Amino acid sequence: MGSAFTPSIKDALSGNVQEKKVQDDSQKTIFSQYQENDFEVFTSEQLTVKWNEFLDKIADRPSLCAALSNVPEITDGNKLSLKIGNSVQEEDVRQIKPELVSWLRKELRNAGIEITTRLEKIESERMIFSDSEKLQMMLQKNPELFELKQKFNLDFSN
């Protein structure tokens, strides 16, 4: 007779597969309790912990990690609003969204979790190219550089 984890061909042919079916039903019941019946309230701290755990799971996919780098905001109890920087990231998130939502529902024990994305242009600082612009930026950060420039008679013009 086969074990509960690996059925034997002999048992299958003789119709003795009851043990495995009972185990499958119990697993389904446990799974459905978390997926369909639980609506536990969760905090933003709990969400952040689970979100980062998911990011650890997908660490081998850097572009997706970048898209999911922002922890979503909790709105209306179970609704999560995720800021996305561009349409490429939005596509990446769309592809993994079913797996992510399912994982969060199970981990946070809340079957009502839904994720929505919203595109928000991320403001970036203007790039500094010229020497004089670089000097001005450095002087803003450290005004004592002006004294060095004067003392050593440094000139940044062509």
Buried b or exposed e, range 11-45, using 16+ CB within 10 angstroms: beeeeeeeebeeeeeeeeeeeeebeeeeeeebeee
Amino acid at 157: S
pLDDT for 85: 87
User: Contact 111/37 with Cβ under 8 angstroms?
Assistant: yes
pLDDT for 16: 67
Instruction: Give the number of residues written for the chain.
Output: 158
pLDDT for 115: 95
Joined tokens for residue 126: 């203007």
pLDDT for 108: 93
pLDDT for 49: 95
User: Contact 56/68 with Cβ under 8 angstroms?
Assistant: no
pLDDT for 2: 44
User: Which residue in the block uniquely carries the two structure tokens 């920087």?
Assistant: 85
pLDDT for 23: 43
Taking residue 145's Cβ as centre, other Cβ atoms within 10 Å add up to: 14
What are the 10-residue block averages of pLDDT along the chain, 158 residues in total? Answer: 58 62 43 61 93 94 90 90 90 94 93 92 67 82 87 75
DSSP 103: H
